[in-house]
A and B are shown apart, each in its own frame.
Chain A
């Protein structure tokens, strides 16, 4: 891959990825451990011709990026736990009105103010169900900074492709660690917004999906004037109480994502071909899991890792396939079992074990080793 080699922080890799993807508007509010993203955007985005604003709270940040997206900009905000809670209502709006946007949540320990500088992965279910009502959502994550860069670009690509909010679910360790990243030459992997080909003077139906399920957009300020609302709406974007309209809209909002899991699922397999034991992990936890795999292999244990980069929609099929030949599955995460429950639903074996920490301390390969020894009958 041609590009520039940099040694940067995880939060900076997000900024690089967003600028690479063509970010045009960013709104933020300071909160640990995501603040560096907002600080760097204030410095960098104007140089790229984009607009930056620090809003009065995270509610306003989320709302303003939706407004800017409707004017044709690629948009993003970044936050952490408490701020992510505040954004939930407007995330639901972006789901309902089908407005592309990227929301970064650098997870910290909770609930509430919790441990502001302590790492956690406790927002997996909030990313899925934080906003009210039935809906689908895309959430992506990464364990190393090259992937953080790549998944940030993909978050924008998916937001545009599926007209949906995409949650980039990082954690404090990934956000604050430093690593080398190759920033590729411009434009190689960037998906641009699909704009309607309907000419001026012809009726444009903003919410009438094409045969492939996609809805070409028209920017505010353009030649098509239409309504956008968070209410159930018809193909004109006008509110409707018709049960058929409501049914079709909800089916569309869910199916456009859940039925495209094969396009959206991103995961990486490490030495799973002959593995007797499978670890499923993601984010910074997957670094320790990979360490455990290498250490285990050195001592003759046939162990492999499935690292998830797409968390939602949950890649059940990928997990089921990876676990097909293994009897033992370990799920390594820094919460009380949020992905563990999904893995249990996906695999046949009953021997699924949770290896976790939720005390704000980074989970290490030693934490995994302890559980592995017990599971393998080697004692504590």
Chain B
């Protein structure tokens, strides 16, 4: 099926700025779903609020654009309502780790079978460039005019700590790698967490004098390394990409089915 058949062309053009990384991440996702050959009627895309969360609306699946931070909580209901559906959740960094942080750790802990993708551009883009929990120290933003003093979350470490059974990271630049990661994440039975680093030239890039969208893509190329790379020993500030966790653990809906089977009719 050609990629365009996964797109709701009626709702184009999309609202993302020129140079935004979200579009290429969307393309990676579409190609991953295409490769998995999932029937469209079996796929639900859920999102929160923000630039990232407009992504599902552009794609031809069942799509649910929820509240800021709450995408994973809505998804729990979808999975328990119809466990056979493949549910993919798209969130921004502030969406997933600030206002939605509580839902993130509990979805990971329960190992509810879904794929949570965080499009991490280190900034609140939709509201005009305020700092988020993934904005680096010292970075400038609309609400850190003297530099950021909040230490950033490492989303991969956060997901690992919360018990996610699949944890991965790639970037908008590493299109093919991200696509393959998404194929494995979606195929994984349990809670899969994928951090997709994305660039916001309009707010993050401009204010921090990092250049255009292309410059941000170069940064992802030059400032990240595959997991286990020796380069990281020489320069600890490099960010690792790869699949950090991939383990088998009973998913919530499987467990639920096994303990309620034979619960019997009410007397």
Within 8 A of A (CB), among B58-99: 60-67, 70, 73-78, 80-82, 84-85
* Nearest Cβ on chain B to A140's Cβ, whole angstroms: 23
Interface flags for A59-72 (1: CB within 8 Å of B; 0: not) read 11001111111111
A51 contacts chain B at the CB level, 8 A cutoff: yes
Within 8 A of B (CB), among A217-233: 219-223, 225-231
B10 contacts chain A at the CB level, 8 A cutoff: yes
Given known pairs A225-B41, A225-B61, the reply for A63 and B78 (CB within 8 Å) is no
Given known pairs A56-B103, A221-B42, the reply for A47 and B266 (CB within 8 Å) is yes
Q: Which of A53, A55, A67, A75 contacts B64 (CB 8 A)?
A: A67
Q: What total of chain A residues lie within 8 Å of the partner, measured CB to CB?
A: 45
Tell me, in angstroms, the Cα distance from A72 to B260 when the chains sit together.
Answer: 20
Contact present for B264 and A47 (CB under 8 Å): yes
Given known pairs A60-B106, A227-B63, the reply for A25 and B80 (CB within 8 Å) is yes
Give chain B residues whose Cβ lies under 8 Å from the Cβ of A65: 77
* Nearest Cβ on chain A to B240's Cβ, whole angstroms: 29
Q: What total of chain B residues lie within 8 Å of the partner, measured CB to CB?
A: 40
Interface flags for A345-371 (1: CB within 8 Å of B; 0: not) read 000000000000000000000000000
* Nearest Cβ on chain A to B14's Cβ, whole angstroms: 12
Give chain A residues whose Cβ lies under 8 Å from the Cβ of B266: 19, 44, 47-48
B57 contacts chain A at the CB level, 8 A cutoff: yes
Contact present for B103 and A25 (CB under 8 Å): no
Given known pairs A69-B77, A220-B82, the reply for A226 and B66 (CB within 8 Å) is no
Give chain A residues whose Cβ lies under 8 Å from the Cβ of B10: 236, 238
Within 8 A of B (CB), among A185-225: 219-223, 225
Tell me, in angstroms, the Cα distance from A199 to B235 when the chains sit together.
Answer: 59
Contact present for A66 and B63 (CB under 8 Å): no
Contact present for A60 and B64 (CB under 8 Å): no
* Nearest Cβ on chain B to A144's Cβ, whole angstroms: 24
In the complex, what residue of chain A is closest to B44 when comparing beta carbons?
A: A220
A73 contacts chain B at the CB level, 8 A cutoff: yes
Contact present for A60 and B103 (CB under 8 Å): yes
**Prevailing SS type, chain B contact patch:** helix
Contact present for A67 and B57 (CB under 8 Å): no
Given known pairs A228-B65, A229-B65, the reply for A72 and B81 (CB within 8 Å) is yes
Give chain A residues whose Cβ lies under 8 Å from the Cβ of B208: none
Contact present for B85 and A93 (CB under 8 Å): no
* Nearest Cβ on chain B to A255's Cβ, whole angstroms: 25
Interface flags for B93-126 (1: CB within 8 Å of A; 0: not) read 0000000001100100000000000000000000
Q: Which of A53, A57, A73, A90 contacts B76 (CB 8 A)?
A: A53
A89 contacts chain B at the CB level, 8 A cutoff: yes
Give chain A's interface residues, CB within 8 Å of chain B.
Answer: 19, 24-25, 27, 44, 46-48, 51, 53, 55-57, 59-60, 63-73, 75, 89-90, 93, 219-223, 225-231, 236, 238-239
Q: Lowest 4 A-B CB distances belong to which pairs?
A: A67-B77, A71-B81, A68-B77, A64-B77
Given contacts A63-B74, A220-B85, 11 further A-B contacts (CB under 8 A): A25-B77, A64-B74, A66-B66, A67-B64, A68-B77, A225-B62, A228-B63, A229-B64, A229-B65, A230-B66, A239-B65
